[in-house]
């Protein structure tokens, strides 16, 4: 069966510090991968998605970036965090048009 | 531009009650629809897909009205464990889903 791993679960980082969140999927190949952010009291916002190694589509211009160095690995990064980057970051994978499976999320607080 | 809109609630209902949520979507090209459930501080989990003919899964019934561009979720015989936020979701292609902000349901004893 397929599983998705996301870490860390919580993170407190100072403004201006770098960020690296990692997500890996097991039990499937060539999945579609996604990074979403959910800010307090707001809906899920798609940040990036990838349909293959090295293929990254950005939905929202910001100081975040994503990379997919391996088929089942998706990384979200920032060189310098802003206070507004605080939120609940969710990685997800899908095989087709629905049935997204989310990782357990990373709760990021920028202080 | 908001593509999927939901009443944020909260909907406060007693155990055993029937409750219905609606959501509207603005993109007429939306192809598929889903309901996700999100518990407090947890990740969303797929509850059910929504088909044009309507579909039922136990106490849950989902309906799609393409003419009016709305989707509904009906929960019968509410349980305390149904307390959560319910996210309405549309798929319009390009491998991405659009999420509503969710409707909060609180079921009380």
Question: A59 and B96 in contact by Cβ < 8 A?
Answer: yes
What single DSSP character describes residue B35? E
Question: Above pLDDT 70, what percent of chain B?
Answer: 96
Cα separation, A6 vs A22, whole angstroms: 6
Confidence tier at B92 by pLDDT (50, 70, 90) = confident
Q: Which residue has the higher pLDDT, B29 or B13?
A: B13
The distance of A16 to chain B (nearest Cα, Å) reads 26
So what's the pLDDT on residue B56? 92
So what's the pLDDT on residue A42? 79
Q: Which residue has the higher pLDDT, A99 or A12?
A: A12
**Residue where the block lists tokens 């407190």:** A12
How many beta carbons lie within 10 A of that of residue B108, not counting itself? 11
Query: Tens digit of pLDDT for each residue in A45-103?
Result: 889 999 999 899 888 767 899 999 999 999 999 999 999 999 999 999 988 666 789 99
Whether residue A35 is predicted with pLDDT greater than 80 in this model: the reply is yes
| Degrees, nearest 5: CA angle A96-B105-B95 | 15
What single DSSP character describes residue A81? -
Q: Is the peptide bond before B6 cis (omega within 30 degrees of 0)?
A: no
So what's the pLDDT on residue A2? 83
Of B31, B95, B101, the CB nearest to A49: B95
Whether residue B94 is predicted with pLDDT greater than 70 in this model: the reply is no
3-state secondary structure chain B: CCCEEECCCCEEEECCCCEEEEEEECCCCCCEEEEEEECCCCCEEEEEEECCCCEEECCEEEEEECCCCEEEEEECCCCHHHCEEEEEEEECCCCCEEECCCEEEEEEC
**Residue where the block lists tokens 């055993």:** B16
Residues of A engaging B, defined by a Cβ cutoff of 8 Å: 32, 34, 36, 42-44, 46, 49, 51, 59, 88, 90, 94, 97-105, 107
So what's the pLDDT on residue B25? 93
Confidence tier at B11 by pLDDT (50, 70, 90) = very high
So what's the pLDDT on residue B108? 97
Cα B6 to Cα A67, B21, B59, B72: the distances in Å are: 33, 8, 21, 10
Cα separation, A109 vs A86, whole angstroms: 5
B89 to chain A: nearest residue by CA?
A98
């Amino acid at each position: 069966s397929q599983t998705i791993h996301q870490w860390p679960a919580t993170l407190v980082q100072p403004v201006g510090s770098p960020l690296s969140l990692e997500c890996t999927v097991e039990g499937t190949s060539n999945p579609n991968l996604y990074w979403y952010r959910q800010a307090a009291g707001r809906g899920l916002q798609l940040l990036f998605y990838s349909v293959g190694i090295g293929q990254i589509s950005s939905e929202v211009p910001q100081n975040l970036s994503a990379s997919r160095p391996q088929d089942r690995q998706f990384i979200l990064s920032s060189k310098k965090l802003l206070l507004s980057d605080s939120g609940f970051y969710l990685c997800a994978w899908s095989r087709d048009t629905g049935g997204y499976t989310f990782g357990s999320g990373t709760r990021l607080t920028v202080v | 531009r908001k593509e999927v809109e939901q009443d944020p609630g909260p909907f406060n209902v007693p155990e055993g009650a029937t409750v219905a949520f609606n959501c509207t979507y603005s993109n007429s090209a939306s192809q598929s629809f889903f309901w996700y459930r999100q518990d407090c501080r947890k990740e969303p989990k797929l509850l059910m897909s929504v088909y044009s003919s309507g579909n039922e899964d136990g106490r849950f019934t989902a309906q799609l009205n393409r003419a009016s561009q709305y989707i509904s979720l009906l929960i019968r015989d509410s349980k305390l464990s149904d307390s959560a936020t319910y996210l309405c979701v549309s798929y319009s292609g390009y491998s991405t889903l659009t999420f509503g902000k969710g409707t909060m349901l609180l079921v009380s004893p």
